[in-house]
A and B are shown apart, each in its own frame.
Chain A
């Protein structure tokens, strides 16, 4: 007997511009949050589009926001542009 299919929420789309977010930072953030939601990555022009789905809609939203924050933090670290950092 097969298990009932899990109802996934509507995908939450996160758009990250390639000039503002480092690719390695996006990759690392996806790797970190992959355990919490289903994340699909596509490229559309200068944007990296992340489609985030979860059985719970609130979780997809939360993961999208946390992932964006994490990717931004890593990008700032990678570019050495945090406050007080002389480049």
Chain B
């Protein structure tokens, strides 16, 4: 265990672990401490602006120091797990929020008639120069020669107005 990051002291019936908050954020300290609350008395203290001390005193009688060492190992594992989980949550916060919003929006169901009545339909339709919004039939249907000429003439830059 690196002593500059986690430092354990074994007293008679308890163990104290001092750790660097830059490595293990407060959320991770809380998360790891919470898993020991049922079998240990847990006390947190701030020993310096960047270091937190976790004191664990087992509720049951401890017979050997090995049990306390095992407890410190378990606490270290839990700290690492919670720190990693906390970082994943922080990095994926935007995705989690987006998915949650979509789920809540979907759960609200389709818009009611009142919602549709208040909806603003006056917006301009979106531009579609590549014809992506057209169906296959609309895009590739056979047209008569007269219609084609009209379409091409209107589609050409300048169109009929360019000749006049």
- A: which residues have CB within 8 A of B? 15, 17, 19-21, 46, 65-66, 68-69, 72-73, 75-76, 79, 81-87
Contacts and interface: CB of A to CB of B under 8 A. Distances in A.
Given A81-B26, A81-B27, A15 B34 contact: no
B42 A72 contact: yes
B46 A17 contact: yes
B10 interface: no
A69 B26 contact: no
Given A76-B33, A86-B96, A20 B45 contact: yes
B112 to A, nearest CB: 32
Most buried by B among A46, A81, A86: A81
A68 B45 CA distance: 11
Contacts of B37: 69, 72-73
B89 A68 contact: no
A40 to B, nearest CB: 19
B31 A82 contact: yes
A76 B46 CA distance: 16
Contact of B34 (A46, A66, A82): A82
Contacts of B41: 65-66, 68-69
A21 B44 contact: yes
Contacts, number: 57
B30 A69 contact: no
A68 B57 CA distance: 12
Nearest to B49: A19
B35 interface: yes
Contacts of A75: 30
Interface string B14-55: 000000000000110011111101000111111000001000
Given A76-B30, A76-B33, A86-B96, A69 B52 contact: no
Contacts of A87: 27, 86, 89
A79 B89 contact: no
Given A20-B46, A21-B44, A65-B43, 5 more contacts: A20-B45, A20-B52, A69-B37, A81-B26, A81-B30
B72 interface: no
Given A15-B45, A20-B52, A68-B42, A73 B57 contact: no
B89 A86 contact: yes
